[in-house]
Chains A and B, each alone.
Chain A
Amino acid sequence: MSILVFIEGSEGVLKKSSKEAISYAAQAGSILNDQEIVAVVLGSYDESILSNLGSNGATKVINVEGDVFAENQIGVFSDSIQGIMTDNDIKLLVMIKSSFSDNIGGRIAGKTGASVVSSVISLPDVSNGFKVNKSIFTGKAATTVSVNGDIKVLIVNKNTVELQESGDIAPVEKIQVSSDIEVKIKITGKEKAEGDILLEDADIVVSGGRGLKGPENWGIIEDLAKALGAATGCSKPVSDVGWRPHHEHVGQTGVKVSPNLYIAVGISGAIQHLAGVNSSKVLVAINNDPEAPFFKAADYGIVGDAFEVLPKLTEKIKSL
């Protein structure tokens, strides 16, 4: 038996965070005595990109090509992966949580009757049944869940395991998709956000809040982000008034991020904002109010004026 791992990508590039699912499955595999880790990729990608998934822990890669996979279609992707699960008698499917994978995991569970657990933050504990920990209340708590179904779908939070990079290569098996996949949803267009680093996938995020005073001041945020190779984010009121686009809104009701480093500039640290960043490895707060609640959550802080502090940081980074 093998563990199946769903890998997301688009336009010829596989998502980095998505590859963590393979490393998760490889570690889960040694616990479960299940050494075959099969990564499934839908759509057209370079052979080398696919075989390099061996480096992350895949023992085999299944690649399904076809025009229907040109876009990330919820129904088409979930039906296809479900087909692969059934054909190969797969009992465990693993993926990294994202706004796309939630859809896929849910539909597959609905079709197969699998036990589905989302926001998983631990490897399975099989000392007594099959248990995992999951994050709840947007990171304010966790719970241990016993997963009882014969088929299991685990949607794992980013940063649950380290991405393994062994340099190994995995064999790639190309399979054809049966032609009767029905496309019920028509994708009529796409709009790409500016900036080439995805907020949800970023290792470093620099976010600005109302303390920046206006959209015209975002240059200092962008300069620091650029120097660090970081994505930019913002607080909810900032996107509500249109200083920044909605997809940059971080927090409980926006994007949840878990980068290695989150730098919050002029953000007070309201509980709803913190809920979206509390699984980051290191939190930095820059705020001119020493009483700002963010300092209670942060690992590092600077009490000071963002307009003076940020250029110094950017300059220092550039000098490294």
Chain B
Amino acid sequence: MKILVCITHVPDTTAKITFIDNNTKLNESGIQFIIGPYDDFALARAIELKETHGATVTVLNVGEANTEPTIRKALAIGADDAIRINTAPTDSMYVAHQIADAIKQEAYDLILMGRESIDYNSGVVHGIVGALLDIPSVSPVMVLDIEGTTVKISREIEGGKEFLEVELPIVAGCQEPIAEWKIPNMRGIMTARSKPLKVVEPVAFNHSTETVSYENPPEKGSVKLVDAENAEDLIDLLKNEAKVL
């Protein structure tokens, strides 16, 4: 079985997000970049499947050269090889076309990624890739097991879970508790340096959306405290002042 795990290179979840160049560019100074947390779940599940089912795991990132440390980390966690498509990931449709093209070259059986990236929060890439390749896509996937060529999935639905069966190949957008995040060990870090990381140029495709500018939300006003002794006063405030009851 050939597994492809698509990973994003995103600011760490605690990063303070600010912009420069007249609010047209993310201020990357002081920001630590990580594998997207949802993608990291997908990767962890892929490594587990490799151990139990004997698969090869390729990681793919659509990004410029600065994402390579993040890709190396995925290799250190246990992926066998990596592909970097050398272009800025600026639009969901554009990124999905790059991923779909890579899949056409190599015929992967299982394509995993996070349910969404934590920078653009769009959550549509798995669906677009599935549609472009005319194969099923499922998200958010919380349990994924393989029996022969059948994938058994539990998908989160509002107010519960749904159990599904579908034949490979598929695209899955993953979230916890599909697997526990894996931390690279020393041996993984050493071997990651020599694992193949292929850089390929993007396929031509027009961007159908364009970012014009960024902004930070207005600062929150200060909190209004209610004395714990008269806690019930909070209810009056919520009812009469905030008008949410």
Chain A residues at the B interface, C-beta cutoff of 8 Å: 15, 71-72, 74-75, 78, 97-100, 102-111, 113-119, 131, 134-149, 155, 184-193, 198-201, 204, 228, 246-247, 249, 252-254, 260-261, 271-272, 275, 278, 281-282, 284-285, 295-305, 308-309, 312-313, 315-317, 320
User: In the complex, how many residue pairs between chain A and chain B have their CB atoms under 8 Å apart?
Assistant: 277
Say yes or no: B123 contacts A140, CB within 8 Å: no
Q: In the complex the two chains form, is A299's CB within 8 Å of B131's CB?
A: no
CB neighbours (8 Å) of A252 from chain B are: 13, 37, 118
From residue A204, how far is it (CB to closest CB) to chain B in Å? 8
- Identify A118's interface contact among B92, B129, B173, CB under 8 A: B92
A193 to B160, alpha carbons, bound, how many Å? 5
Q: Are A147 and B162 in contact (CB under 8 A)?
A: no
B83-107 Cβ-contact flags toward A at 8 Å (1 or 0):
0000000001100100000000000
B215: interface (CB < 8 Å): yes
Chain A residues, CB < 8 A from B11:
137
Q: Does B119 contact A (CB under 8 A)?
A: yes
Asked if A106 contacts B131 (CB within 8 A), the reply is yes
Whether B209 is near chain A, meaning CB under 8 Å from some CB there, is yes
Contact present for B163 and A187 (CB under 8 Å) = yes
Q: In this assembly, does B109 line the interface, its C-beta being within 8 Å of a C-beta of chain A?
A: no
Shortest distance from the beta carbon of B222 to any chain A beta carbon, whole Å: 8
B142 touches A246 (CB 8 A): yes
Q: Do the beta carbons of A185 and B164 come within 8 Å of each other? A: yes
CB neighbours of B13 from chain A (8 A): 252, 271-272, 275
Residue B175 is within 8 A (CB to CB) of chain A in the complex = yes
- CB-contact partner of A299 in B122, B164, B210, B224, under 8 A: B224
Q: How far is the CA of A109 from the CA of B93 in the complex (A)?
A: 8
The answer, among B125, B136, B220, for a CB contact under 8 Å with A106, is B125
A190:B161 contact, CB within 8 angstroms: yes
For residue B184, CB closer than 8 A to chain A, the reply is no
Known: A118-B122, A309-B228. 8 other contacts (CB 8 A): A109-B127, A115-B93, A118-B92, A118-B124, A148-B209, A185-B136, A185-B166, A284-B238
Smallest CB gap from B214: residue in A: A143
Is the pair B119, A200 in contact by a Cβ cutoff of 8 Å?
no
A10: min CB distance to chain B, Å = 8
How many residues on chain B are close to A (CB under 8 Å)? Answer: 78
B229 — nearest CB in chain A belongs to which residue?
A: A304
| Residue B139 interfacial (CB < 8 Å) | yes
List residues of chain B with CB within 8 A of the CB of A108: 131
Judge if B63 is at the interface, Cβ distance under 8 Å: no
Q: Determine whether the beta carbon of B224 is less than 8 Å from that of A145.
A: no
Chain A positions within 8 Å of B217 at CB level: 139-142, 278
Least distance between B224 CB and chain A CB atoms (Å): 5
Q: How far is the CB of B93 from chain A (nearest CB, A)?
A: 6
**Closest CB of chain B to A248's CB: distance in Å?**
11
User: Are B226's CB and A302's CB within 8 A?
Assistant: yes
Which B120-169 residues sit within 8 Å CB-CB of chain A? 120-132, 136-140, 142, 156-167
In the assembled complex, the Cα of A272 lies from the Cα of B132 at a distance in Å of 33
B156 partner, pick from A109, A247, A304, A315, beta carbons under 8 A: A247
CB proximity of A149 to chain B, nearest CB, Å = 4
A98-B158, A300-B242 known; A110 vs B165 contact (CB < 8 Å): no
- Flag if A144 contacts B212 (CB, 8 Å): yes
Residues from chain A with a CB closer than 8 A to the CB of B209 are: 115-117, 145-149
Contact of A103 with B220 in the complex, beta carbons under 8 Å: no
Q: Is B66 an interface residue (CB 8 A)?
A: no
| Residue B17 lies at the interface, judged by CB distance under 8 Å to chain A | yes
The reply to whether A110 and B244 form a contact with Cβ atoms under 8 Å apart is no
Per the bound structure, the CA–CA distance linking A213 and B217 in Å amounts to 34
Q: Are B245 and A228 in contact (CB under 8 A)?
A: yes
When C-beta atoms are compared, the residue in chain B nearest to A130 turns out to be B209
Q: Which residues of B contact A254 (CB under 8 A)?
A: 176
The answer to whether A317 and B224 touch across the interface, beta carbons within 8 angstroms, is no
The complex places the Cα of A75 from the Cα of B170 at a distance, in Å, of 12
From B128, B138, B175, contact of A185 by CB (8 A): B138
Is B204 interfacial (CB-CB < 8 Å)? Answer: no
B186 at interface (Cβ–Cβ under 8 A)? no
Which residues of chain A have C-beta atoms less than 8 A from B119's C-beta? 136-137
Contact B138 A110 (CB under 8 A): no
Q: Identify the closest chain B residue to A147 (Cβ).
A: B209
Which residue from chain A places its CB closest to the CB of B135 in the assembled complex?
Answer: A184
- In the assembled complex, the Cα of A99 lies from the Cα of B119 at a distance in Å of 17
A104-B127, A300-B226, A304-B228 known; A190 vs B238 contact (CB < 8 Å): no
3 shortest A-B CB distances, which residue pairs?
A106-B127, A110-B131, A304-B228
Q: B162 contacts which chain A residues (CB < 8 A)?
A: 71, 187, 189-191
